[in-house]
């Protein structure tokens, strides 16, 4: 028993160790990619001195973690040293990259790095090193070509084996068939043709009867819908008249909602201010209160808690907070799967490229140097709101092409998971948004709000539109009758499906579906 307990403990410790090692390697890779992206941004902004500092840090980082150079990193660092005329550092870096290429066991990545080294050595006029890298590149390319030829040969051999097996199977099957005389075969073919013609005539009659029945049902649905709309208008008119009479007979009451009393209805959108200075909070409230319900937080912990609970439509955060940097707060919001859709505006006391660098490191959508100018702030907030509308239009185009051959991919894991789950459960009429929210480990309320922000659609509306888009594709391909297709996309009632299809596309389902009898 004691030995079994020790063995179990050892297995658990090994599992935890492997998990920690994987997490650490993943963090190292993310850090390396972030540093490469930062060097690229600094090169684009012509900040070569700061870029060389980042390049030296990057070289020490990959040397400490024993990571190889990537072609992009070699190109960026060479460009930085070229701008700063640092021949010595460039020579050492190219030599280190050549050593990494020699150690790389993968011919593909080795060839990519060597090709970049050849170009950079020629730029730095390192003829001998360029010639050496060119020779190694030729060897790597020959290895890749040889591997491709082996794969092609194995693929052709597999195809040949498959054709041989099919031929042997076909010959074995032909021996089992009954051979008929030509006259007997002609007689049997004539009988079968006559039976097929009779079945075709019967099918034509059944289709005509079915079409007439469906047209009659559609007419009944239209009449019922008109009656229901008329009754709804009548009941609404009666209720309005009764409300007016009750309002005349009852003395008006003063509303307890002070905001509604003085400023009108509250805006639907929420803005969160994370700012320790109360005067700045009052000033920003005056700029945002006409479009947002403004909530305030004075500390970083309070701001993150409120952002996680409220899921606001905008976060305005100061770069300097009590106890924690506002840059870290903005970064945590952007790294959170739950909150990464929220636009963040960063307020900083730095100017120029320093302010831009703060915003880039935090992942902010916009930044301002204090003091904030009201016109520029309003324009930036409006651009963020307009960007949301543009994303809604792009998602509508993705949704329309989702089931077609020209599907446009989406890079958002949240939207991709949502669309895939809905597609997998289209035939289930009881499928609800609760299942998607549960898989994403979110409450239904927070899932609905995030989906509305990213797509402009409620979950029920998105599920219904995907069912109808799939139905349209099936009807155009004549994959079945409208009744069968309505069941395939999760509509329990064909009449409800027909009305929903007409309301969404403006077309009747029968106009997209043509039976073979009509073609005759």
The DSSP secondary structure of 229-285, one letter per residue, reads HHHHHHHHHHHHHHHHHHHHHSPPPPPS-HHHHHH-SPPS-EEEEE-S-HHHHHHHH
pLDDT in tens, 482-500: 888 888 888 878 888 888 8
Task: Read off φ and ψ for residue 175, nearest 5 degrees.
Answer: -70, -25
CATH number 1.10.10.60 is the correct assignment for the domain at 401-519: yes
Count the residues in the chain: 520
Cα dist from 29 to 66, 302, 360, 441, whole Å: 12, 31, 19, 26
CA atoms within 13 A on the CB side of 350: 13
The answer to whether residue 406 scores a pLDDT higher than 70 is: yes
Reported as a pLDDT band with limits 50, 70 and 90, residue 443 is: confident
Q: Quick one: CATH architecture of 263-372?
A: 3-Layer(aba) Sandwich (3.40)
As a whole number of angstroms, the distance between CA 214 and CA 482 comes to 10
Reported as a pLDDT band with limits 50, 70 and 90, residue 415 is: confident
pLDDT in tens, 264-309: 566 778 888 888 888 888 888 888 888 888 898 888 888 888 888 8
Q: Could you identify the residue written with the tokens 């040949």?
A: 160
The answer to whether residue 518 scores a pLDDT higher than 50 is: no
| Candidate from 20-24, 99-103, 221-225 with smallest mean pLDDT | 20-24
The answer to whether residue 82 scores a pLDDT higher than 80 is: yes
* The pLDDT of residue 134: 92
Query: What ranges do the domains of the chain cover?
Result: 18-147, 263-372, 401-519
The answer to whether residue 263 scores a pLDDT higher than 80 is: no
| Candidate from 158-167, 186-195, 250-259, 376-385 with smallest mean pLDDT | 250-259
Task: Read off φ and ψ for residue 378, nearest 5 degrees.
Answer: -60, -40
- CATH topology (fold) of 18-147: 1.25.40
């Amino acid at each position: 028993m004691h030995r079994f307990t020790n063995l179990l403990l050892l297995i658990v410790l090994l599992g935890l160790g492997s998990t920690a090692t994987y997490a650490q390697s993943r963090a190292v890779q993310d850090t390396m990619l972030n540093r490469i992206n930062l060097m690229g941004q600094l090169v684009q902004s012509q900040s070569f001195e700061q870029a060389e500092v980042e390049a030296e840090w990057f070289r020490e980082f990959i040397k400490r973690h024993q990571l190889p150079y990537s072609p992009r990193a070699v190109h960026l660092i060479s460009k930085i040293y070229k701008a700063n005329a640092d021949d010595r550092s460039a020579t050492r870096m190219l030599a280190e990259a050549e050593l990494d290429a020699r150690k790389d066991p993968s011919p593909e990545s080795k060839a990519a790095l060597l090709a970049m080294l050849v170009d950079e050595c020629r730029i730095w006029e390192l003829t001998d090193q360029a010639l050496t890298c060119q020779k190694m590149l030729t060897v790597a390319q020959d290895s890749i070509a040889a591997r491709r030829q082996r794969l092609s040969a194995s693929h052709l051999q597999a195809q040949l084996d498959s054709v041989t097996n099919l031929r042997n199977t076909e010959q074995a099957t032909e021996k089992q068939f009954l051979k008929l005389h030509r006259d007997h075969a002609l007689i049997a073919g004539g009988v079968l043709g006559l039976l097929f013609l009779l079945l075709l005539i019967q099918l034509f009659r059944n289709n005509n009867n079915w079409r007439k029945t469906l047209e009659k049902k559609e007419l009944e649905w239209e009449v019922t819908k008109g009656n229901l709309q008329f009754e709804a208008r009548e009941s609404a008119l009666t209720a309005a008249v009764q409300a007016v009479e009750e309002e005349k007979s009852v003395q008006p009451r003063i509303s307890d909602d002070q905001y509604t009393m003085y400023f009108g209805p509250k805006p639907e959108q929420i803005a969160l201010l994370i700012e320790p200075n109360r005067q700045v909070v009052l000033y920003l409230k005056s700029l945002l209160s006409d479009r947002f319900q403004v909530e305030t937080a004075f500390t970083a912990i309070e701001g993150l808690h409120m952002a996680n609970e409220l899921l606001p439509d905008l976060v305005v955060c100061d770069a300097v907070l009590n106890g924690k940097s506002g840059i870290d707060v903005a970064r945590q919001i952007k790294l959170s799967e739950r909150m990464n859709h929220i636009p963040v505006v960063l307020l900083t006391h730095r100017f120029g490229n320093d302010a831009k660098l703060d915003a880039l490191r935090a992942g902010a959508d916009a930044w301002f140097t204090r003091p904030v100018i009201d016109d520029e702030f309003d324009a930036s907030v409006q651009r963020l709101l307009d960007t949301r509308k543009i994303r809604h239009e792009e998602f509508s185009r993705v949704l329309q092409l989702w089931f077609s051959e020209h599907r446009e991919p989406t890079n958002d894991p949240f939207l991709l998971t949502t669309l895939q789950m809905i597609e997998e459960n289209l035939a289930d009429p009881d499928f609800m948004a609760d299942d998607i929210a549960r898989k994403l480990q979110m409450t239904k309320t927070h899932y609905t709000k995030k989906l509305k922000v990213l797509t402009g659609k409620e979950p029920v509306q998105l599920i219904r539109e995907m069912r109808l888009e799939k139905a349209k594709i099936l009807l155009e391909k004549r994959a079945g009758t409208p009744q069968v297709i309505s069941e395939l996309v999760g509509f329990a009632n064909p009449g409800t499906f027909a009305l929903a299809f007409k309301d969404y596309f403006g077309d009747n389902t029968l106009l997209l579906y043509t039976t073979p009898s009509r073609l005759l």
